[in-house]
Structure 1
Amino acid sequence: MTDQEPTLTHDGKDYKISDLSKEAQDQLQSLQLAEAEIKRLQMQLAMVQTARNAYQQALVAALPQDAH
């Protein structure tokens, strides 16, 4: 089994992470953190939307039937 060195692919070109400058590696890490945070927030949003829908259904069920 061979261990492949981590690479970054951009515009069809592969770059070895270890060959990138410190600045490029730092920017890559920041990008990865931002992408992970976006994914986390999207999952949290989905959860809150699900809760909102349940609250809305509960509210509708709790409304008086003859509201005229």
Structure 2
Amino acid sequence: MDDEEEVTVDGVTYKVASLSEEARTQVNNLKFVEAEIAAMQSKVAVFTTAKIAYENALRQALPRATH
């Protein structure tokens, strides 16, 4: 952890290095979860793009409707 790293909670900024071990552990837990959420959001974006491509491919593969 960087000695200058800070965390802001409820509008109050704290230097992480000055926090208790328990608080530093929770900061690390939050950082981990935030990274996992970002990774999942990226996957959702990829899957959403793939879904659109598959829907478009399906439209092209379907017989044309005649009126």
Match of 1:36 in 2: 35
C-alpha separation in 2, matches of 1:42 and 1:67? 41
What value does the CA root-mean-square deviation take over the aligned residues?
1.7
Q: 2:12 and 2:57 mapped to 1: Cα distance? A: 53
Instruction: Name the structure, 1 or 2, with higher relative contact order (CA <8 Å, separation 6+).
Output: 2
- % identical equivalent positions: 43
Runs of 4+ in structure 1 off by over 3 angstroms are none
Q: Deviations over 1:8-58 (max 9, x none)?
A: 122222211111111110111011110110011001101001001000100
Which residue in the other structure is 1:6 paired with? 5
Show structure 2 runs of 5+ residues with no match.
none
TM-score by length of 1: 0.84
Most deviating of 6-15 and 36-45: 6-15
Aligned residues: 65
**How does the TM-score come out when normalised to structure 2?**
0.85
Q: Which residue of 1 aligns with 2:16?
A: 17
Give the AA of the match of 1:19: S
Question: Structure 1: any 5+ residue segments left out of the alignment?
Answer: none
Distance 2:30 2:8 in 1: 14
